[in-house]
Amino acid sequence: MAHVVQTRTRAGTIAGGTALLLIAVAIILPAFASRSLIQDLFMILTMLTLAQLWNLLAGSAGLVSIGQQAFVGIGAYAMFAGVILWGWDPVPAILLAGVAAVLLAIPTAFFAFRLQGAYFAIGTWVIAEVTRLLVAQWKALGGGTGTSLPREVTGNIMGVDAIRGLLGVKEAAARDILAYWIALILAVMTIGAIYALMRNRQGLALAAVRDNTDAARSVGVDAGAIKWQVFLLAAFGTGLVGALVYMQKAQISPDAAFDVTDWTALIIFIVVIGGIGTIEGPIVGVIVFYVLQTFFADFGSWYFMTLGLIGICVMLFAPKGLWGLFAARTGIRLFPVQRRLVVGTKQEEP
């Protein structure tokens, strides 16, 4: 019987068009949006990127890491080192952060991949702690108390003057816009790269390894290599985001940059609440997170307690998250990665 295997869906095509339109709007947004909106969107975009990367690890590769703060922290510190010790401009120093994160990810994977499943999770956490303690010994960057970017650096970041000229805004606002645009590029590239990965052979191999490593090996998938690739890729992206966030904050300390709550726990809740294992999930999750943050962040520990309990409830009663509930009801996939067998369609004779 004639059949084709396809991943394309109509909702996916419409979503693709809408996404392009949204990106175009996002690019020109700073021309008329308020500064606080740009700052909020910066936060949303960076959290979204981190969430997509964690989702790639845990949802697609089965690598549940609780140590992603290691890569945020080392990326941020590498950027500070580039700026303060070697006189780089912060923007190119962000790339240095990606390299540093990959360099840290290599020994991390070497150790953590010796641990199975749940123990892998705590193993990555231990390595993040070790990195934090080592960085706290780095006296040139302030040791345990941390340091700030010098004022003459933050005043002269590459591209800020051009943005001031282009949009006629003050320097601080221009810095926010620069950071926002970089965050937008990172988010779009991350989602695009993950989407492309999930739709090609590598993505199929990844899903096979996650679902049954032995079976995947038996059909010729190099399970070890693919886990390494994904882990290094996620570390690279996480390091870039870490550097960007701390370029914006302009001050750093080991306890903040390697904080498990900010850089891993919140990210996990975003992914779990939105829906693990899909590209749509973290997008939904980050929107929910933003709403909760806007209304309840002032409640401090109550807020985190509620997030923890919501995370538990979602995992128990709707393990595929909010997006999973929606997709199961409607069958809509905005970023279709499933291979669907369509039987009975006309197919060209070879």
Question: How far apart are CB 85 and other proteins at their closest, in Å?
Answer: 22
Closer of 115 and 193 to other proteins (Cβ): 115
Q: Which of 15, 57, 58, 186 is the binder for other proteins (CB under 8 A)?
A: 58
62 touches other proteins (CB under 8 A): yes
Question: How far apart are CB 58 and other proteins at their closest, in Å?
Answer: 7
228 touches other proteins (CB under 8 A): no
3-state SS assignment for residue 165: helix
145 touches other proteins (CB under 8 A): no
Question: How far apart are CB 104 and other proteins at their closest, in Å?
Answer: 14
The strand pairing partners of 91, in sequence order, are none
The strand pairing partners of 340, in sequence order, are 6
H or E segment to which residue 342 belongs: strand 340-343
Helix 35-55 / helix 266-274 crossing angle, nearest 10 deg: 80
315 touches other proteins (CB under 8 A): yes
Tell me the site size for other proteins, rule CB under 8 A: 42
Rounded CA separation 280/197 (Å): 15
Q: How far is CA 33 from CA 177, 248, 293, in A?
A: 10, 18, 21
Binding characters for other proteins, 150-189, by CB under 8 A (x = yes): ----------------------------------------
Give phi and psi for 3, each to the nearest 5. Answer: -155, 160
Name the residue among 100, 59, 340 with its Cα closest to residue 210: 59
Closer of 169 and 223 to other proteins (Cβ): 223
For residue 152, give the amino acid letter: E
114 touches other proteins (CB under 8 A): yes
119 touches other proteins (CB under 8 A): yes
How many separate helices (H) and strands (E) can be counted in the chain? 18, 4
Rounded CA separation 318/82 (Å): 44
Q: Give residues 237-296 in contact with other proteins (rule: CB under 8 A).
A: 260-261, 265, 268-269, 272, 276
Tokens encoding 30: 């700073």
130 touches other proteins (CB under 8 A): yes
**Widest Cα–Cα separation across the chain:** 70
Q: Which stretch binds other proteins (CB under 8 A): 78-86, 120-128, 185-193, 342-350?
A: 120-128
Q: Which residues bind other proteins (CB under 8 A)?
A: 58, 62, 64, 66, 111, 114-119, 121-123, 125-127, 129-130, 133-134, 136-137, 260-261, 265, 268-269, 272, 276, 301-302, 304-305, 307-309, 311-312, 315-316, 319
